[in-house]
């Protein structure tokens, strides 16, 4: 289990995080969701012991961070938000360097990861694109099959195909009983792969729970052109003949049926930004 209790961290007078608490059980993917500057990276960097909290506690398994972190580090996999590995090393050399930190790395699994993620081994790290750097970061975090997997916006920069493969890898690790912390600013991603979520805003976890409850507060923005009729039960605004609805995700099917029954000229479905969701939540 990973436990984060009432974490607080200020950088001088600047707020990092104010009050962050959550727990993640084995075999659970926890999505820490929040806009940029909300405190996701500060929370993660406190968990991995890079920075010390002003207040609060972190436990990875039975080990308190940062005092006992060294005793559990071999069980941790970490994907940083901004990937910076040794630019002068070729990817193959880097993986060999990384392997030496762990006992008995499963090289068959390493090869599988290389193929699944499509990693180019002969290039120097500094010559890789952002997405390819991210793939290497994912590989080095998963290769030793950690019990605790901590990832700061891991899909940022990955192409959709690799994203799908990455989600499948995560699911495999989840089934192995791994505790997975996954930060993101993309709501749909958290809805899709996580079992639990925490919403962080201005350094405070303002809501957490099962992903099912996240689906209740998340919605889509639907713009309907030339709607022939009225739909009173949905919140809407009207401008120049275009009706904009806010439709809860779990009610989308029913809404679309009704719109089809009434008839329309064109329709556009958009995901709201995370800020929109937070504003909605605060109303």
Partner 1 sequence: MNIIVREIRSKLRTFIIWIGIITLFILMYIPFTNQFLEESETMVKFLEKVPKFLLKAFSIDVELFSMPEGIFGSEGMSFIYILVGVFASMMAGGIFAKEFEEKTIEYILVKPISRKYLFRQKVLALLIFVLSLSLTFTIGTLAFFKVFVTVGYSQKVLFGFGLYVLTIQIFFSSIAVLLSVIFQRSSLTTSISLGILIFMYFGNALASTIEKIKWLEKICVFHYLPLTDTIVKRQIFGMNALMIIVVSMGILFVSQKIFEREDILI
**Which residues contact partner 1 (rule: CB under 8 A)?**
11, 45, 48-52, 70, 73-74, 76, 78, 80, 82, 84-88, 97-98, 100-102, 140
- Residue 26 near residue 37 (C-beta atoms within 8 A): no
By C-beta, is 98 or 184 nearer to partner 1?
98
By C-beta, is 74 or 172 nearer to partner 1?
74
CA dihedral 61, 65, 66, 68 (to 10 degrees): -30
Rounded to the nearest 10 degrees, what angle do helices 130-142 and 91-99 cross at?
A: 20
By C-beta, is 132 or 140 nearer to partner 1?
140
Beta-sheet pairing, 148-152 with 179-184 = parallel
By C-beta, is 86 or 225 nearer to partner 1?
86
Q: Which of 261, 265, 225 is nearest to 245 (CA)?
A: 225
By C-beta, is 140 or 155 nearer to partner 1?
140
- The least distance separating partner 1 from the CB of residue 208, rounded to whole angstroms, comes to 25
Q: How far apart are CA 119 and CA 252, in angstroms?
A: 38
For the sheet with 219-225, list strands across it.
235-239, 242-248, 219-225, 266-270
Please give the backbone phi and psi of residue 256, each rounded to the nearest 5 degrees, phi first.
-65, -35
């Amino acid at each position: 289990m990973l436990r984060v209790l009432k974490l607080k961290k200020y950088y001088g007078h600047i707020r990092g995080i104010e009050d962050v608490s959550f727990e993640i059980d084995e075999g659970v993917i926890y999505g820490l969701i929040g806009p940029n500057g909300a405190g996701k990276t500060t929370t993660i960097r406190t968990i991995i012991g890079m920075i010390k909290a002003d207040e609060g506690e972190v436990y990875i398994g039975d080990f308190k961070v940062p005092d006992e972190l060294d005793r559990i580090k071999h069980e941790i996999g970490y994907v940083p938000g901004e990937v910076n590995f040794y630019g002068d090393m070729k990817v193959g050399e880097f993986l060999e360097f990384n392997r030496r930190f762990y006992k008995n790395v499963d090289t068959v699994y390493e090869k599988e990861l290389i193929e699944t993620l499509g990693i180019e081994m002969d290039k120097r790290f500094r010559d890789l694109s952002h997405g390819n750097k991210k793939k290497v970061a994912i590989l080095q975090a998963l290769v030793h099959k950690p019990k605790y997997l901590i990832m700061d916006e891991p899909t940022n920069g990955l192409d959709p195909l690799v994203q799908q493969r990455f989600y499948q890898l995560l699911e495999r690790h989840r089934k192995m009983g791994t505790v997975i912390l996954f930060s993101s600013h993309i709501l749909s991603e958290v809805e899709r792969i996580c079992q639990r979520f925490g919403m962080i805003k201005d350094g405070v976890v303002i809501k957490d729970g099962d992903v099912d409850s996240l689906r209740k507060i998340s919605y889509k923005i639907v713009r309907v052109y030339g709607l022939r009729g009225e739909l009173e039960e949905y919140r809407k605004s009207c401008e120049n003949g275009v009706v904009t609805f806010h439709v809860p995700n779990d009610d989308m099917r029913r809404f679309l049926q009704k719109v089809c029954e009434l008839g329309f000229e064109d329709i556009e479905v958009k995901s709201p930004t995370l800020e929109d969701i937070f504003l909605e939540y605060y109303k």
